[in-house]
Every structure is written in structure tokens, then in C-alpha cells.
């Protein structure tokens, strides 16, 4: 019998990540979300919450570098980008990306965000997850609690018409959380990327065009 580790290594997205130089298969969740919702349009200041091991930061850097050239016009444009990744786990460095080992639930994190960006963000991303216990009900509630913390950061730091991607777990309180997020954005969608594992109960909320 093939054990879970061997099965994971043979899995399509794992192989693709290794081949294309991404640190984890999760990179393809973000590619999928971008293809569907175009979240990186004119995005130059980006915060990635729960960034370890850094695969989403790799994708973010790719799109922000492209945006410097793609959106060099008379509309909203910057001649530089700023990317910050935050995680309680250590994340290996990525050139031109500011990575912080910190807990986003601590009040001092807002000071760090202000100090680095010195302005409103175009995009907030979160693939952050609690450490699962195996009890789906408990894990769902703990993940939703984390989501509320991330939502608070997003509300405080996203610019007008900025975008949000946040991972939740499906369960009893998901609809309540969805209703909390809905008035904040002109468009709100729930989406499970193709590269998410079939057995996973993760689901992403995509908030587009933050209201004032």
C-alpha cells in the first residue's frame, strides 16, 4: 500500500511545483484564483498572511513585477512594489520581499504594516490555517475566529477598491462570516480552487473592490 507521503509526492500539483520551482503546491491555488477573478489587476502593495513556506509570495512577486510594466499608463500606477509576508513559522528569504516571523493577532503587527507600506494596500491574501486537531467542528470554529482577525486587518489596511482573498473552512459558521464580509466589498464570491485537495473542507472568500 502507498502511504500518504508517497501519494502526496506523486500528486500532480506537487510534481508541478517541484518542476517549476515553487515551494509548495499551494502556488496553484493562487494561480487558479487569479485566472478566475483577476485579483492582481493594478496590485503593487500586497500583504500575504500565513505566508510559509513562501509559495504564494513567489506568485505575488511574479505578478507585481509584471504589473510594473503592464500598467505603466496614466491610471493608477506605481514605479515600485512592496510585498510583505507574515507567518508564525520561519519562511526562507525571497529577494525584494519583506518576511516577518510574527503572530498577526498581536496588536504590534499593525505598526509593522504601517511602517513598511506607509500607505493603503491593493491586495490582502491569506492562506493561513490553524493547526488542525482532527475535530472538524472545533477546527472550523477556530479557523473562523482566525478569519475574523484577518478580516479586521484587511478592513484597516485595504485601499478603496482593494481586493481580499481569505481561506476559511466550510461549516456551521461559514455563512455568518460570509454575511459579515459581504457589505465590505462590491463583489464577494466563495471558491474552491481546482488544486485544493478533494478531501479538504477549505474554501476561499474572494472580496473584490472594497467599498469606502
Residue showing cell 508517497:
6
Longest dimension (CA), the chain: 60
- 6 by Cβ neighbours in 10 Å (0-12 / 13-18 / 19+) ranks as exposed
Read off the DSSP letter of residue 182: G
Read off the DSSP letter of residue 10: H
Instruction: Measure the CA dihedral 60/64/65/70, to 10°.
Output: 140
Q: Identify the active-site residue in 167, 176, 192, 198.
A: 167
Active-site residue 131, yes or no?
no
Residues with catalytic roles: 167
Amino acid at each position: 500500500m502507498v502511504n500518504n507521503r508517497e501519494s502526496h509526492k506523486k500528486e500532480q500539483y506537487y510534481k508541478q511545483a517541484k518542476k517549476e520551482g515553487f515551494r509548495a503546491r499551494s502556488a496553484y491555488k493562487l494561480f487558479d484564483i487569479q485566472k478566475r477573478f483577476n485579483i492582481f489587476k493594478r496590485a503593487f502593495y500586497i500583504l500575504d498572511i500565513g505566508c510559509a513556506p513562501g509559495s504564494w509570495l513567489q506568485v505575488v512577486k511574479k505578478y507585481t513585477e509584471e504589473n510594473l510594466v503592464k500598467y505603466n499608463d496614466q491610471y493608477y500606477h506605481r514605479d515600485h512594489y512592496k510585498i510583505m509576508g507574515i507567518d508564525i513559522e520561519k519562511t526562507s528569504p525571497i529577494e525584494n520581499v519583506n518576511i516577518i516571523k510574527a503572530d498577526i493577532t498581536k496588536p504590534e503587527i499593525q505598526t509593522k504594516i504601517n511602517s513598511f507600506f506607509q500607505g493603503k494596500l491593493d491586495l490582502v491574501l491569506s492562506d493561513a490555517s490553524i493547526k488542525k486537531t482532527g475535530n472538524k467542528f472545533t477546527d472550523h470554529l477556530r479557523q473562523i475566529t482566525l478569519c475574523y482577525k484577518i478580516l479586521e486587518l484587511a478592513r484597516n489596511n485595504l485601499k478603496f477598491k482593494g481586493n481580499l482573498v481569505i481561506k476559511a473552512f466550510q461549516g456551521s459558521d461559514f455563512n455568518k462570516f460570509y454575511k459579515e464580509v459581504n457589505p465590505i466589498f462590491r463583489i464577494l464570491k466563495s471558491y474552491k480552487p481546482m488544486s485544493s485537495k478533494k478531501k479538504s473542507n477549505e474554501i476561499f472568500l474572494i472580496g473584490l473592490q472594497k467599498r469606502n
